[in-house]
Amino acid sequence: MSKHDITLNVNGKKYELTVESNELLLNVLRERLYLTGSKYGCGIAECGACTILKDDESYFACMVPAVAADGWNITTVEGLADGDKLNPVQQAFIDNSAIQCGFCVPGMVVTSTALLRENPDPDEDFVKDYLRGNFCRCTGYVAMVKSVLDAAGKMKEAK
Ligand code: FES
Ligand code: FES
Protein backbone atom coordinates (compact mmCIF):
# COMPACT_ATOMS: atom_id res chain seq x y z
CA MET A 1 0.00 0.00 0.00
CA SER A 2 1.50 3.39 -0.91
CA LYS A 3 1.83 6.20 1.59
CA HIS A 4 1.04 9.87 1.00
CA ASP A 5 1.81 13.04 2.90
CA ILE A 6 -1.24 15.24 3.32
CA THR A 7 -2.26 18.38 5.15
CA LEU A 8 -5.68 18.76 6.74
CA ASN A 9 -7.07 21.90 8.34
CA VAL A 10 -9.56 20.64 10.89
CA ASN A 11 -11.55 22.94 13.17
CA GLY A 12 -8.99 25.69 12.61
CA LYS A 13 -5.96 23.51 13.34
CA LYS A 14 -3.43 22.29 10.76
CA TYR A 15 -2.39 18.63 10.72
CA GLU A 16 0.39 17.12 8.63
CA LEU A 17 -0.10 13.39 8.26
CA THR A 18 1.13 10.41 6.30
CA VAL A 19 -1.77 8.26 5.19
CA GLU A 20 -2.18 4.97 3.37
CA SER A 21 -3.80 5.16 -0.05
CA ASN A 22 -6.82 3.18 1.21
CA GLU A 23 -7.29 5.10 4.46
CA LEU A 24 -10.62 6.88 4.84
CA LEU A 25 -10.98 10.46 6.02
CA LEU A 26 -13.48 9.31 8.66
CA ASN A 27 -10.96 6.93 10.17
CA VAL A 28 -8.23 9.56 10.15
CA LEU A 29 -10.50 12.00 11.97
CA ARG A 30 -11.67 9.46 14.53
CA GLU A 31 -8.62 7.28 15.11
CA ARG A 32 -5.69 9.59 14.47
CA LEU A 33 -7.01 13.02 15.39
CA TYR A 34 -9.31 11.60 18.11
CA LEU A 35 -12.28 13.61 16.82
CA THR A 36 -14.85 10.92 17.51
CA GLY A 37 -17.92 13.12 17.07
CA SER A 38 -18.28 12.01 13.45
CA LYS A 39 -19.72 8.50 13.69
CA TYR A 40 -19.14 5.36 11.65
CA GLY A 41 -22.67 4.19 10.90
CA CYS A 42 -23.02 2.40 7.58
CA GLY A 43 -19.73 3.12 5.79
CA ILE A 44 -21.55 3.19 2.46
CA ALA A 45 -23.02 6.70 2.18
CA GLU A 46 -26.45 5.71 3.44
CA CYS A 47 -26.83 7.08 6.96
CA GLY A 48 -25.11 10.47 7.23
CA ALA A 49 -23.66 9.79 10.69
CA CYS A 50 -20.19 10.67 9.42
CA THR A 51 -21.09 14.05 7.92
CA ILE A 52 -18.43 16.77 8.02
CA LEU A 53 -18.10 20.14 6.35
CA LYS A 54 -15.55 20.99 3.70
CA ASP A 55 -15.75 24.78 3.83
CA ASP A 56 -19.54 25.20 3.89
CA GLU A 57 -20.45 22.03 2.02
CA SER A 58 -21.37 18.74 3.68
CA TYR A 59 -19.57 15.50 2.84
CA PHE A 60 -19.83 11.91 4.03
CA ALA A 61 -16.37 11.35 5.51
CA CYS A 62 -16.79 7.57 5.11
CA MET A 63 -16.71 8.05 1.33
CA VAL A 64 -13.63 10.26 1.11
CA PRO A 65 -10.16 8.70 0.84
CA ALA A 66 -7.94 10.72 3.18
CA VAL A 67 -5.49 11.34 0.35
CA ALA A 68 -8.27 13.05 -1.62
CA ALA A 69 -8.84 15.44 1.28
CA ASP A 70 -5.32 16.87 1.08
CA GLY A 71 -5.56 20.63 1.70
CA TRP A 72 -9.23 20.53 2.74
CA ASN A 73 -10.59 22.98 5.27
CA ILE A 74 -12.75 20.70 7.44
CA THR A 75 -15.20 21.33 10.25
CA THR A 76 -16.39 18.43 12.36
CA VAL A 77 -19.14 18.59 14.96
CA GLU A 78 -16.44 19.39 17.54
CA GLY A 79 -15.67 22.62 15.67
CA LEU A 80 -19.18 24.04 15.42
CA ALA A 81 -19.37 25.74 18.81
CA ASP A 82 -17.68 29.05 19.51
CA GLY A 83 -15.95 28.24 22.80
CA ASP A 84 -18.75 27.54 25.29
CA LYS A 85 -21.40 28.95 22.96
CA LEU A 86 -23.12 26.25 20.95
CA ASN A 87 -24.02 27.02 17.38
CA PRO A 88 -27.73 27.81 16.80
CA VAL A 89 -28.50 24.31 15.51
CA GLN A 90 -26.83 22.58 18.45
CA GLN A 91 -28.71 24.82 20.88
CA ALA A 92 -32.03 24.26 19.08
CA PHE A 93 -31.57 20.46 19.21
CA ILE A 94 -31.21 20.74 22.99
CA ASP A 95 -34.08 23.21 23.37
CA ASN A 96 -36.41 20.94 21.36
CA SER A 97 -35.29 17.68 22.98
CA ALA A 98 -34.37 16.43 19.52
CA ILE A 99 -31.85 13.90 20.85
CA GLN A 100 -32.69 10.34 21.79
CA CYS A 101 -29.74 7.90 21.67
CA GLY A 102 -27.68 10.64 20.01
CA PHE A 103 -25.80 8.52 17.49
CA CYS A 104 -27.13 10.36 14.43
CA VAL A 105 -27.06 13.80 16.02
CA PRO A 106 -23.53 14.93 15.07
CA GLY A 107 -24.28 14.22 11.42
CA MET A 108 -27.71 15.81 11.66
CA VAL A 109 -26.30 18.94 13.27
CA VAL A 110 -23.48 19.26 10.74
CA THR A 111 -25.85 18.77 7.79
CA SER A 112 -28.32 21.24 9.29
CA THR A 113 -25.53 23.77 9.68
CA ALA A 114 -24.67 23.38 5.98
CA LEU A 115 -28.38 23.75 5.19
CA LEU A 116 -28.68 27.08 7.02
CA ARG A 117 -25.52 28.41 5.42
CA GLU A 118 -26.99 27.58 2.02
CA ASN A 119 -30.52 28.73 2.83
CA PRO A 120 -30.95 30.84 5.99
CA ASP A 121 -34.74 30.95 5.57
CA PRO A 122 -35.86 27.39 4.79
CA ASP A 123 -39.42 26.08 4.95
CA GLU A 124 -40.33 22.69 6.42
CA ASP A 125 -40.24 20.87 3.07
CA PHE A 126 -36.78 22.24 2.30
CA VAL A 127 -35.48 21.00 5.67
CA LYS A 128 -37.03 17.55 5.24
CA ASP A 129 -35.59 17.22 1.76
CA TYR A 130 -32.13 18.46 2.81
CA LEU A 131 -31.96 16.00 5.71
CA ARG A 132 -33.04 13.03 3.61
CA GLY A 133 -29.49 11.61 3.62
CA ASN A 134 -29.31 11.55 7.42
CA PHE A 135 -31.05 8.64 9.13
CA CYS A 136 -32.27 8.54 12.70
CA ARG A 137 -32.98 5.04 13.97
CA CYS A 138 -34.85 6.51 16.95
CA THR A 139 -37.29 8.17 14.49
CA GLY A 140 -36.79 11.59 16.01
CA TYR A 141 -37.29 13.53 12.80
CA VAL A 142 -40.17 15.79 13.90
CA ALA A 143 -38.20 17.47 16.67
CA MET A 144 -35.13 17.67 14.45
CA VAL A 145 -36.93 19.46 11.64
CA LYS A 146 -38.47 21.82 14.19
CA SER A 147 -35.00 22.46 15.63
CA VAL A 148 -33.63 23.52 12.26
CA LEU A 149 -36.57 25.88 11.69
CA ASP A 150 -36.15 27.30 15.21
CA ALA A 151 -32.43 27.81 14.63
CA ALA A 152 -33.21 29.64 11.39
CA GLY A 153 -35.65 31.90 13.27
CA LYS A 154 -33.13 32.66 16.03
CA MET A 155 -30.42 33.42 13.50
CA LYS A 156 -32.76 35.83 11.70
CA GLU A 157 -33.67 37.57 14.98
CA ALA A 158 -29.99 37.94 15.87
CA LYS A 159 -29.22 39.83 12.65
S1 FES B 1 -21.11 6.22 7.95
FE2 FES B 1 -20.94 7.58 6.31
S3 FES B 1 -22.90 7.73 5.47
FE4 FES B 1 -23.09 6.21 7.02
S1 FES C 1 -31.26 9.89 18.11
FE2 FES C 1 -30.84 7.76 17.98
S3 FES C 1 -30.36 7.40 15.92
FE4 FES C 1 -31.04 9.43 15.97
How confident is the model over 5-43, as pLDDT tens digits?
Answer: 999 999 999 999 999 999 999 999 999 999 999 999 999
Q: How far apart are CA 39 and CA 68, in angstroms?
A: 20
- Asked if the 88-158 domain carries CATH number 1.10.150.120, the reply is yes
Atom of ligand 2 nearest to the CA of 136: 4
Atom of ligand 1 nearest to the CA of 43: 1
CA 104 to ligand 2 centroid distance, Å: 5
Residue 37 CB-half CA count within 13 A = 19
From the CB of 47, is ligand 2 less than 6 Å away? no
Please identify every stretch of the chain with a pLDDT value under 50, giving residue numbers as ranges: none
The DSSP bridge pattern shows strands 51-54 and 57-60 to be antiparallel
Do 3-79 and 88-158 agree at the fold level?
A: no
| Confidence at residue 139, expressed as pLDDT on a 0 to 100 scale | 79
CA 51 to ligand 1 centroid distance, Å: 7
pTM surpassing 0.85?
Answer: yes
| Confidence at residue 140, expressed as pLDDT on a 0 to 100 scale | 79
CA distances, 75 to each of 29, 65, 81, 154 (Å): 11, 17, 10, 22
Domain boundaries, the chain: 3-79, 88-158
| Confidence at residue 109, expressed as pLDDT on a 0 to 100 scale | 98
CATH class of 3-79: alpha beta
Q: How far apart are CA 44 and CA 63, in angstroms?
A: 7
Contacts of 54 (CB under 8 A, 6+ apart): 69, 72, 73, 74
